[in-house]
Structure formats: C-alpha cells, structure tokens
Amino acid sequence: MRIIVEEVRLVIKGKVQGVFYRAWAQRSAVLLGINGFCRNLLNGTVEIVGQGRRGALEEFIQRCYDGPNGAKVESIEVFWRGETETFPSFQVR
C-alpha cells in the first residue's frame, strides 16, 4: 500500500519572528512525521512548507495557531498543493 503524501504551504502572520517560532515548528513537524522547511520572510511572516499525510498536516496547521510561548498568531494562509520537491527531513532555513 502506498502512503499518499500531500504538501501544504503556510504563511503565518503576527508576532512570529524573534520568539523561536521556527525552532518550535521544526520540533512539532518532526513529532508529526512531517518533512519540509520553515523560514522567516522579509515582511515579518514565517513561511512553512510541509509534506506528509493529510491528517498529520491538518494537526500541524492547528498547532501552528498556538505556536511557542511569546508568539501571537494573527492568521495563517493555507495553500494545499501538489508536491513541489521531496524533502528528506524538516529544516529551519
């Protein structure tokens, strides 16, 4: 049986830079078996690309609304899409 891998791109807005959001996202993604990356964008948001099973990605998105202590997430833009490349792990860029 083949496991279907899906991909989602998230843009997290709010107080998400300077509060260890990327390190928190990496730990959360690894716990859920999600590969991909996260990075700060110049406009003050955090971008995350995650690949994994749909249920794990949906749980990850819900967790991203909370984030680490000190974060204040205002909104998350969610873009489901086809796999753009294969990620062997989850990295902070």
Please indicate whether residue 40 is annotated as part of the active site: yes
Residue recorded with tokens 């990496």: 26
Strand partners, 30: none
Please indicate whether residue 63 is annotated as part of the active site: no
CA–CA separation, 84 and 63 (whole Å): 23
Which residue out of 22, 53, 81, 93 is catalytically annotated?
Answer: 22
Which residue out of 27, 35, 40, 93 is catalytically annotated?
Answer: 40
**Is the Cβ–Cβ distance between 10 and 53 less than 8 Å?**
no
- Residues forming the active site: 22, 40
